[in-house]
Amino acid sequence: MKTITLTPKKFSSIALEFDELIPDKVYDWNKEDFEKYEVPIGNSRFPLTDYFDIEIEGSAEGPEEVKMILDGDMGRVKYIGCKMSAGDILVNGDADLQVGAEMTGGSIKVNGNAESYAGREMKGGSLEIMGNVREYCGTSYIGEWRGMSDGIIKVHGNAGKQLADCMSGGEIYVDGGCDILAGIHMTKGYIEIGGDVTRWPAGQMKNGTVVIKGKLGRLLEGFEVEGIYKNPEIHGKQLTGKYIKYKGDIGVNGKGSLWLNAEKNRDLL
């Protein structure tokens, strides 16, 4: 087991890019390698040691034996854990854009908030965010029609707009509320939102499942009631309470299911 701890010591308003500092690439680096390394900032590269104190303990045979601790505010560090396939990353603070984007395995935990595009096009592994995420969590690349395809994202706070657009697999759990168009264009996968949702979940959805345990502000006309179920079992999980099940989006001949907590959404009954 190898523990790599990076403690920030200087702030750069131009974001640092950490796509090269993932367990897959650094598992065999020693301290000198880190000290030699220059991190991309804007159109240049600067020594990593200008920005971080580096500590390394233990050794690793492969990325799965690496634990990286980014010990502080990473609010201007983009692409943390981008494309990683194994190992653990712990961020003790906020994370900037694209945390966990395109990851295929391993785990990332952010003890703070995450900026937009967290878990974009995720293909595996797990991403846990203790705070809120901004827009486009678990989405596709712009113009791509396949978004997150596997893996798990857990958000303990709230999620922003267009959560998981074009999702084609995997699971997303949001404990808090969620803004417009969660699961838009989704074709497969599971989204569970614990809190309230502003408007229009699952617009243009073709398939997959969205569960909303809180109150929904506005539902689209493209959804038709299929029935009301008590303690339904959805996606292999037993939910408690009454749920209204909708099918849609009719506009795209969708066969997706949208489950709304009946108690909280009595106006729709």
Partner 1 sequence: MAYEEPVTDYDKIVENCTCAFCGSNCDDLDYLVKDNRVVAVRHACRLGASKIMEDEDQRLIVPMIRDETGELVETDWDTALDKAAELIANAVRPLFYGWSETSIECMKKGLKLTEYVGAVIDNQATICHGPTVQAVQNVGYPLMTLGEVKNRADMVVYSGSNPMNAHPRHLSRYTMFPRGWFRPRGRYDRTLVTWDPKFSDTAKMSDIWVPFEENGDYEFVNAIRAVLKGKELKKDVIAGIPKEDIIELTEAMKNVEFGALFFGLGLTHTLSKQRNIDIAIQLVQDLNAYTKWVLLPMRGHFNVNGFNIFLSYEMGFPYGVDFCRGYPRYMIGETTTIDLLNRREPDVFMVIAADPGAHFPGGALAHLTNIPVIQIDIHWGPSTELADVVLPGTFIGVETAGTSYRMDSVPIHMKKAIDPPETCREDEWIVNELYERVKKIKEASK
201 contacts partner 1 (rule: CB under 8 A) = no
Q: In Å, how far are 114, 123, 130 from 219, measured between CA atoms?
A: 28, 30, 28
* CB neighbour list of residue 237: distance below 8 Å, 6 or more residues apart: none
Which range of residues in 56-64, 150-158, 214-222, 255-263 is near partner 1 by CB under 8 A? Answer: 214-222
**Number of residues counted as binding partner 1 (CB under 8 A):** 39
Phi and psi angles of residue 122, each rounded to the nearest 5 degrees, phi first:
-65, 140
Binding-site string for partner 1 from residue 85 to residue 124, where x marks contact by CB under 8 A and - marks none: ------------xx-----------------xx-------
Phi and psi angles of residue 144, each rounded to the nearest 5 degrees, phi first:
-80, 145
250 contacts partner 1 (rule: CB under 8 A) = yes
CB of 74 closer than 8 Å to CB of 97: no
CA distance 139 to 132: 16
Binding-site string for partner 1 from residue 50 to residue 89, where x marks contact by CB under 8 A and - marks none: --------------------------x-x-----------
Q: What angle do CA 161, 91, 87 make, to 5 degrees?
A: 105
1 contacts partner 1 (rule: CB under 8 A) = no
Phi and psi angles of residue 33, each rounded to the nearest 5 degrees, phi first:
-60, -45
For residue 61, give both structure tokens.
Answer: 């045979």
The residue from 152, 163, 178, 181 that contacts partner 1 (CB under 8 A) is 181
Cβ proximity to partner 1, 193 vs 239, nearer residue: 193
The residue from 252, 262, 264, 265 that contacts partner 1 (CB under 8 A) is 252
The residue from 180, 226, 235, 242 that contacts partner 1 (CB under 8 A) is 180
Distance of CA 269 to the CA centre of its chain: 32
Binding-site string for partner 1 from residue 24 to residue 53, where x marks contact by CB under 8 A and - marks none: ----------------xxxxx---------
Closest Cα partner for 257 from 191, 194, 197, 164?
Answer: 191
Cβ proximity to partner 1, 60 vs 82, nearer residue: 82
87 — alpha (psi -120 to 50), left (phi > 0) or beta?
left
215 contacts partner 1 (rule: CB under 8 A) = no
CB of 4 closer than 8 Å to CB of 55: yes
Q: In the chain, what is the greatest distance between 2 CA atoms, to the nearest angstrom?
A: 65
Closest Cα partner for 100 from 79, 70, 75?
Answer: 79
230 contacts partner 1 (rule: CB under 8 A) = no
Cβ proximity to partner 1, 90 vs 180, nearer residue: 180
Residue 253: CB minimum distance to partner 1, A: 7
Residues in touch with partner 1 (CB under 8 A)? 13-15, 17, 40-44, 76, 78, 97-98, 116-117, 135-136, 142-143, 145, 162, 180-181, 184-185, 199-200, 203-204, 218, 220-222, 224, 249-253
